[in-house]
Structure formats: C-alpha cells, structure tokens
Structure 1
Amino acid sequence: MKRFFCVVILSYLLFTVSAAPSNPYNLFIAPGTLSETSVVLLWDKQYAKEAVVYELLLNGKLQGTTTKTNYTIKGLKPGASYTVSLQLKGAKQTASSPLKFKTAAKGRVYNILDFGAKSDSSFINTKHIQKAIDACTVGGTVYIPKGNFVSGALFLKSNMTLYIAEGATLQGSIDTTDYLPLIKNRFEGWEMDTYASLINAGTLNRDGSYNVKNLRITGGGTIKGGGKKLELACKAARGIRSRGRLVLLMNCRDVSIDNLTLTEPPCWTLHYVYSDNISCHGLTIKTHGIHNGDGIDPDSSTDSYIFNCIFDTGDDCIAIKSGKNPEGYYVGKPTTNVRITDCDFKRGHGISIGSEMSGGVSAVLVQDCKAGALLHGLQIKGTKDRGGYVKNVTVENCQLLKITIFSAVNYNNDGEAAPVLPVFENFVFKHIDLSQANVKEPVININGFNHPAHKLKNVLFTNIVLPENGKVLINDADQVRFEGVKMVGGGKPVYEVKNSAGISY
C-alpha cells in the first residue's frame, strides 16, 4: 500500500508542488485498523480560505465530522460490507471517490486468565500469556483483563489482536533472564544480538520478506516495561547495547498499535525495522528519565502513519532511521513515506530524522502538530560518515520551538565511514509558528556538509512567524529561500549566512 504524500519537490531556484492526484482526498484505511467493529480512515489535507470541516458519509448517511485528517468509525457489524466517502462541509465540491470495505468476521477471544495468568506482582505470567498467544486462531484476540500482569518477553504472530483492556497493565519483569534467549535486532544503526523486548513480533532478515502480518495491539490499557531497573540490569550484564525495547516489530506488515499508554521501556519504546504499513495512533508515550528513551523509531521501514499521539520522552519523541555508516549504506533499506499528523510533543529531544540515515530517508510529512519543550525541536541530523540521504521532507501547519539541521552530531559516531558522503536536500517548511522560541540561540539553525558537492540544498521556508529578535543561522547551504518569514511584530529576523550561496530573504 504505497501512499502518495503531496510532497513538495524542489529544483534549484524553482520551487514547485507535485501535481495533485485526480482524487485529491486520497481516502484510505489506515493499515491494520480494519477490525470486527471499527475502522480508521486517513486522507490528505484539503485547503480553503476558511477553516475546513470534513464530513464522513457511511453508506450515504452522515457518520460524523472532524477538522483532522483522520477519523475512527466504531459500532460496525462483524463481517459486513460498507461504503464510506468524504466531503467538505458547506462546500459545493464533489465528494471523494467511494471507498468500500468489509469488516472482519467475529473471532474467538482468549482470556489469559483461562491459561493460568494471575494479577499478582510476585507472579511471572510469561508462559501463561504465551500459551494464550500460541493457542490464538486466525482472527482471534488475546485478552488481558483489568489488573497488573507481570511478564517477560512475549512473541506475537500473524492474524491476531493483543487486547490490553482499560485498567489493565502488562508489566515487564526487571529480571534479564526473562528476556532470553538473545535475538537478532538492530540498535543505533547496527544489526546485533540483544535481549528480547517485552512484546516482539517477527524475526529480522534483509531479504524483504514479512514474517508477521495483520497484527493489532490495542485496548485502552498500559504496557509498562521494566524501566530504569531493567535498563541498569541489562547494561551490567551485557552492556549498553544489549537492551531490548518495550515493543519491537521486525519484518512485519499491516500492523496497528493504538489506544494504549506505553511507558517505562529499558531503551527505545516502539521500534519497527524492515517493516511496512504500520499505524501508530492514539498512543500516550511516557519515558522521561529513561536513557535512550525514544518514543517511536521507524527504521528502514515504509508507509508509516503516526497520528493522534502524545509524547513525553527521555530522548527523541520520534526518530526516523535507516541504519548507519557502511552497514546501513550497503543494506540499503530506506525509510520512506512517513506521515506524522495531529501529535502533541510535550517533552523530549526532538522530532528527528537521523542520526542513523545511511540507508536513506525520503517522503516525510509532519503536519498539524504541536511541539513543546523539545531540546532540538524539529531536527534533521547526521554526520559526514553516514552516507545515504535525507530528502523530500515537508513540515507544515505546526507549532514548534526550533528547527535545526545538524551535519556533525557529537555522539553515536563509532565504526568506519560509508563510501560516500550523505545528501540533505528538498525540504519545505510552511505555515510554522515559532513565536514562542527561545531567542538566546538561533530559532532556525541550518548546517549542511562542508563539501562543495554535498552542501544542503533546495530548502524553502514560507509563512513562518519568529519571536522578536529571532535569529536565523545558515551554514554550508545552497538555494535556500525565505518567503513571508517575519517576527511577531512584522519585521525581518536577523540572518547570519556562512559559506552558502543562493540564499534569498
């Protein structure tokens, strides 16, 4: 399911928008979300002079309205066929092309209590929950009821739902032996053996195949890892890179992770690698105080949809990755088509692309998001050793506190260099509110690579609001345009340009 995001493609001095598709709404079902009784719909943002309100029509009747570019329809009948369409409220405009779908047939429910699980902080439920997972038939649901269930590593499979009910907590053990045997994984750009994660799906390989499909993790409850205690235990036993994740997907396809609180991982929270068609929505991710406590890490994966999520993290809120240095470059699996919309970033290091981007990153859309006290704001980062590329990134209609592009991060620089220098190009930032930024440092800080053939190039900033005395810093860049970039009071910000050409403001 390759989705076309209306990405702005830039070409030296000419900045143009890709041609609109014949169906401008591009209405589609979010991967992994079509269940027995519900479905989540996504579409492309529409623009008008006044605020846009979307109307959803189910079988020709008004289902509901929203100002977002996503909508969840609930209360459907299992195994039933439906037709849905979308239109703008009050506009004399043709509705979207009708989208037809059929809900899943009603599946069997496997309550973990029936397999010997206990809500008891001293009881390890790993084998009991795993028995329920292993017994689950196609289309079935493993149900975790209200209570606190301690477990070690669990391994999910295709065509199932893990349902953690509201008031239920799947609690990760703090004993490293509960996460053995070690599994092949990828961390900070390298493939390596690590402890298993609390929730695992798939096994790692580079051949492009998918070994877990049609999986959903949902329910309204909480997945809580072993946190700091497990983090320290893993480091002491096998080193800093041995830690698993809270949720790990490898070579998976058509997965939805939604309506959950994810907290206290020993490392990254939700990591998917070599995977395709992943929906992450309605998540509240809390990892403040956790070392490497990233929120969501799409890694050499395609077609990601991250929306309606809240982040309060101890590291990057979202970090888009694709491997590191020669290994990532030769594996050559890019991350492409990532859409991040309607998210609230409260605390963390940043909404980040990189620093591991050696397999390439392209077609990223960040839209209608709000970012609070992020250390680096919206950031694109790498080093000259990475190889690969970051290109075709659009950030629009967001409230941010900083925009940064780094070409020499001072961490995670082990290993030999890739055989080529990386490329940063074709970025668009439009309709961005930076008015609350700290003016003690540059509000927009752009740094390309200090090499004539690999300077950052083709960047457009349009309709940006900076605070009074806001500063813009540009290093090692070619063809960067600023249009309608003003301070709150209407004046131009201070521009500092070094070793760059084709800069207009």
Structure 2
Amino acid sequence: MLDACARTDSLTVYWSKPAAAKAGQRYDVMLDGTVMATVDRTHCRLDGLEPDHAYRVDVAMVGADVDCGTNGESCEDGERVEDGTAVGSRVFRTAEHKRMIDVTAAPYRAIGDGTTLNTTAIQQALDDCGPRDAVLIPAGTFLTGALRMHADSELVVSRGAVLQGTADPRDYLPMAPSRFEGVELDCYSSLITIGHLDHDSGPNCSNVVIRGGGVIASGGRALAEAVIEREWGRVKAELAATGQSLDDYEKPETIPGRVRPRLITMANASHVELADVTLKNGASWNVHMIYSDHIVTHGCTFESHDVWNGDGWDPDSSEDCVIFDCDFNTGDDIIAIKSGKNPEGNVINRPTRRVRIFDCRATRGGHGLAIGSEMSGGVEDVKIWDCDLSGLWYGVEVKTTPKRGGWVRGLHVRDTVMRHAIIRAVPYNDDGVAADEPPVLEGFRFERVRLLGGVPADADEGAPREAVYVRGLPEPVPPIRNVVFREVTLGGAADAGDAEPGVRDIVADRCEGLEIRGVRCG
C-alpha cells in the first residue's frame, strides 16, 4: 500500500510498514527523484506543491542493511534487506483549486454566534456544492441539526470554527436506516450523514472530503439522555407486546439508546477522507462506516468522555479502512471493528476486511482497540503498527460471545505499546438467536509489543490485570488457533505512575498452536 490524500498544494503520503522494517525505521520520501523528507513513521506530508500537477512519489527504507531472520526481524529467514530498499512508487496528482462557498455569505447567511440555528442555511450550501466547490465553515460556533453530504462534495471546517450539533432530538429527524450494535434499525439522523444504507448493494455516495482544522461536535450526553427519554414509552410498549422487558438487557436504557444519532455516519459510501479536525461528543459512536470502502482518516482528534458507547472510529462490514496520526480520548473503545450481530449479521454476511491502523495515540483514556463483539459477518486482515495505546483499559482486544458465529482471523500487531493483548468471549451483548456455527478465532500475531499490564486508576472492576489473556470458549466450540507472541516485553505500568503496578501474567486456555518466543520483563 502506497497512497496519498491530495490538496491543491500538498500530498499526504502513507504506506504499509514493510515486513523487514524495525521499530523506529526511517524512510526517504522522494518527489520526482529528489529526497524531500526523511521520516521515522509510515506517512509524510509534502507541502509547497503546484495545483493540478502530477508528481512521482518514491518511498525507500533508510538504514535497513540487516539480515532478517535474526534479532526478531519479521521477514523470511536469510533474506537481506539493503539500505535504500524501495517501499513503493506511484504518481499522484494534486487537487484543482476549488471555489469556496462561505456559509456566512449570501444567500446562506449562517451566523456563528453559538445560539442561532443554522441547519437550513448550511444544508443549502452543502446541496449547492459541486465537484469544483467546497463548503467553508469560517471561525465561529455554528449551531445546527442533522446534515447530509452528497457525492463529490467537500466540507471545510476551518481553524477556529465549531460545527456544533444541538442537544434537541427533534433536530435529528427524520429518522433514517442505520445499524447499531450489529442490528439494522431506524435511528435519529447523524450530525453528518454520507450515503444511504442498503446491505444488498454497493456504494451510492463517493468522493467526499471533510477537513479543515476546526471542531465537529454534537450534543454528547445531553442529547443521548434526551433521545432515551423520548424513546422510553415506545420501546416499553413494543417489548410488552412480545412478552419482554427492559430488564432483559444489559441496561434498561440499552434498547431506547440504540437509536441515538452518531456524529458522522457513512453508509454505502466509498472514497471518503476525514482530515485534521477534532471530532467530539457524539451521542453514541463518533465515526461509523457501514457497508463502505476506502475510508481514510488522518490528523484527527477524537474526544468523547462522559458518553455511554462513546466509541471513536468504527468500521462495520466495511473494507479498506485506514486511520493514522490520530489522538483518542474516548468514553468507550477508541476503535471498534464490527460486522453485524447474530442472526442478522450471519445472514447479511458482509465482512470487514483490510483495516490499517498506525501512528495513533491513546494515552489519556479509552476502553480498548476492539475487534467485536459484533463480528457475525467476519473480520479479517487487520494490521496495527507504531501505536501508543498505553492509556486504554483493555489494550487490543478481540471479543466474541458464544452465540455470535462468524470469525476473526489475520490480526497483526507490532511495534506498539499497550496494556493487554486479549482474545476472549464476553458475557454482555449476547442477545439474539444463536448462529448455526460457533465463532472461529484464528491467526493472531503480536511482534515487538510492550504489554504494560495493570489498570489505569479510572478503570472499572472488570478490567483485566494480566498482560496476556487468551481464553477460548468451552467445547464443542473450536479453540483459539495460531496465536504468536514474539519479542514481547511484559510490565512497566508502574513506571508510568499508575495506581496499580504492572501485572506480567500470561493466561492461556483453550488455545491450539500458541507460540511465545523472546519474552522479557521490563
């Protein structure tokens, strides 16, 4: 993978970490044969370029003259990688200049005073946006309800600007088809919606950009509670008609809470870029992509504390999703990779594939970087590298339930700091008719990772203490298969000032093909 996001005067280039690359590997980034930068991460921004101009970009490893197969290098035994080994070469074109549609100008006349409701004005500007236009939110706080973006459109939330969603559920009507915790249902419209949900078809909205350096925020906890309150009566009546009760679920607010709006939803969307914005305080998940592909998120900050289900970035039955150079401080999982819940997810059967997560930071808070527990359509080929996840309660966690079905395979984590590596079944979110086949978990590789163990001071009582926790379901469910730990350092949480010293235990049960090599205590 060598790809780029283009502006009129810059290219943000990113690439997959080569198998032979070490921790701290350096790369030369060349533009038309000239070295423009040397970086120690797998992305680079090249500035000062001409608009609408084609450039050849080459990336090569620096200082890579090593014999692989020794010292824990992750490539074929005996292979030699020399200095200057190419990572990739492609031609990219910078963007054309676009006409800026300022929402404060005529005929829109939006007012950024934080109190005027601007939904109609901003939506009209978005509707008027053509392929050579971009909608500009200038400095100020622009209050709005739900908005929708169409294909070939761009939204620029400039530095100093806040696109602020209200806390009134009526501003997120009409409800629209969506998916929450693996089940399709009508939900309150997200603050920004891209595309229309249809699990039987491909993309229906492509080439959308949201960027700019500003803030996109919703009503957070206040909006979530207002939606739940509004939904109580309807949900109680529906459950009573089927002989059920809200007490049958994890929390009484579980069912009425499922219709809360996201911050940004992409449904059947393709080629969407989110860049250089702060995304905060969705009433549930912040960024949710469903049945979508080629989604790139970079340079963003996610903030959602004090929000139940306040996930940051959730690919759901989606493919080719990339996130890099992002910071997280969330009230739930920073990233949750999903593909539906039994039985509906098994029937729809749309996996999530080819997810790349690199150079991301979660040092201030969050639950985990999770795969599951809704994974009935399958999840495969997830690669994580060069991340600092030391602030998460659960580290990297693969989770399922006995009823779920589906599969998770092909997870590769390397050169990353986190508290735990967890593969297990969880006791919650296990409603629904069981799948015909039990879940399959196989093919996990952790290389050159530091597992701190322990828990942050704010973690709940159920958070694990062990650095490695791999526990398969009882028979007749197949064991967890082919789990590899290489060059792993255990412990170190106490050194970071945590309330509890690091726990270095390794728990493994119902595993087949478990390999642990090169473990040390730090």
Q: TM-score, normalised to structure 1's length?
A: 0.88
- The answer to whether 1:27 aligns with 2:2 is yes
Shift of 1:452: 4.1
- Residue in 2 aligned with 1:357? 375
Shift of 1:436: 5.8
Shift of 1:104: 2.5
- The answer to whether 1:456 aligns with 2:429 is no
1:87-98 → structure 2 map (5 Å cutoff): 87-89=60-62, 92-98=83-89
Q: Tell me: CA distance 1:264–1:61, structure 2 relative to 1, closer, same or farther (3 Å).
A: same
Q: 2:468 aligned to 441, 444, 447, which one?
A: 444
Q: Tell me: CA distance 1:55–1:292, structure 2 relative to 1, closer, same or farther (3 Å).
A: same
Aligned to 1:123, the other structure's residue is in SS state: strand
Aligned to 2:116, the other structure's residue is in SS state: coil
- Residue in 2 aligned with 1:395? 413
- Residue in 1 aligned with 2:236? none
Q: Tell me: CA distance 1:307–1:247, structure 2 relative to 1, closer, same or farther (3 Å).
A: same
Q: Distance in 2 between matches of 1:79 and 1:219?
A: 20
Q: Distance in 1 between matches of 2:21 and 2:87?
A: 16
Q: 2:286 aligned to 266, 269, 273, which one?
A: 269
Q: Distance in 2 between matches of 1:130 and 1:427?
A: 45
Give CA deviations for 1:186-220 in whole Å, capped at 9, x if unaligned. Answer: 00000000000101110000123211111110000
- Residue in 2 aligned with 1:61? 34
| RMSD between superposed Cα atoms in Å | 1.7
Q: TM-score, normalised to structure 2's length?
A: 0.85
One-letter identity of the residue aligned with 1:108: R
Q: Distance in 1 between matches of 2:279 and 2:22?
A: 39
Shift of 1:268: 0.4
- Residue in 2 aligned with 1:372? 390
Shift of 1:92: 4.1
Shift of 1:38: 2.5
Asked which structure has the greater RCO (Cα within 8 Å, sep 6+), the reply is 1
Give CA deviations for 1:160-185 in whole Å, capped at 9, x if unaligned. Answer: 21000000000001111111000000
Q: Contact 1:108–1:137 at 8 Å: present in 2 too?
A: no
Q: 1:112 aligned to 103, 107, 113, which one?
A: 103
Shift of 1:368: 0.7
Q: Contact 2:384–2:412 at 8 Å: present in 1 too?
A: yes
1:140-289 → structure 2 map (5 Å cutoff): 140-238=133-231, 239-289=256-306
Q: Distance in 2 between matches of 1:172 and 1:49?
A: 44
Q: 1:103 aligned to 91, 94, 97, which one?
A: 94
Aligned to 1:235, the other structure's residue is in SS state: helix
Shift of 1:45: 1.8
Q: Distance in 2 between matches of 1:158 and 1:371?
A: 35
Q: Tell me: CA distance 1:171–1:413, structure 2 relative to 1, closer, same or farther (3 Å).
A: same
Q: Contact 1:264–1:287 at 8 Å: present in 2 too?
A: yes
Q: Distance in 1 between matches of 2:366 and 2:23?
A: 33
Shift of 1:94: 4.7
Q: Contact 2:129–2:154 at 8 Å: present in 1 too?
A: no
- Residue in 2 aligned with 1:52? 25
One-letter identity of the residue aligned with 2:419: L
Q: Distance in 2 between matches of 1:51 and 1:261?
A: 27
Aligned to 2:126, the other structure's residue is in SS state: helix
- The answer to whether 1:43 aligns with 2:60 is no
The worse-fitting range, judged by mean Cα deviation, of 106-115 and 288-297 is: 106-115
Q: Distance in 2 between matches of 1:457 and 1:231?
A: 40
- Residue in 1 aligned with 2:339? 322
Aligned to 1:267, the other structure's residue is in SS state: coil
Q: 1:417 aligned to 422, 425, 434, which one?
A: 434
Q: Contact 1:435–1:487 at 8 Å: present in 2 too?
A: no
Aligned to 1:374, the other structure's residue is in SS state: coil
- Residue in 2 aligned with 1:71? 44
Q: Distance in 2 between matches of 1:194 and 1:79?
A: 40
Q: 2:115 aligned to 119, 122, 134, which one?
A: 122
Q: Contact 2:438–2:477 at 8 Å: present in 1 too?
A: no
> What number of residue pairs does the alignment pair up?
459
The worse-fitting range, judged by mean Cα deviation, of 355-364 and 204-213 is: 204-213
One-letter identity of the residue aligned with 2:398: I
1:418-433 → structure 2 map (5 Å cutoff): 418-433=435-450
One-letter identity of the residue aligned with 2:2: L
Q: Distance in 1 between matches of 2:11 and 2:192?
A: 24
Structure 2's unaligned 5+ residue stretches are: 64-81, 232-255, 456-462, 492-501
Q: Distance in 2 between matches of 1:135 and 1:150?
A: 20
Shift of 1:431: 0.5
Q: Distance in 1 between matches of 2:23 and 2:112?
A: 52
Q: Tell me: CA distance 1:208–1:41, structure 2 relative to 1, closer, same or farther (3 Å).
A: farther
Q: Distance in 1 between matches of 2:23 and 2:230?
A: 59
Q: Distance in 1 between matches of 2:101 and 2:298?
A: 24
Q: Contact 2:60–2:88 at 8 Å: present in 1 too?
A: no
Shift of 1:50: 8.6
One-letter identity of the residue aligned with 2:176: I
- Residue in 2 aligned with 1:306? 323
Q: Tell me: CA distance 1:195–1:50, structure 2 relative to 1, closer, same or farther (3 Å).
A: closer
Q: Distance in 2 between matches of 1:143 and 1:50?
A: 40
Q: Contact 1:285–1:311 at 8 Å: present in 2 too?
A: yes
Q: Distance in 2 between matches of 1:179 and 1:457?
A: 45
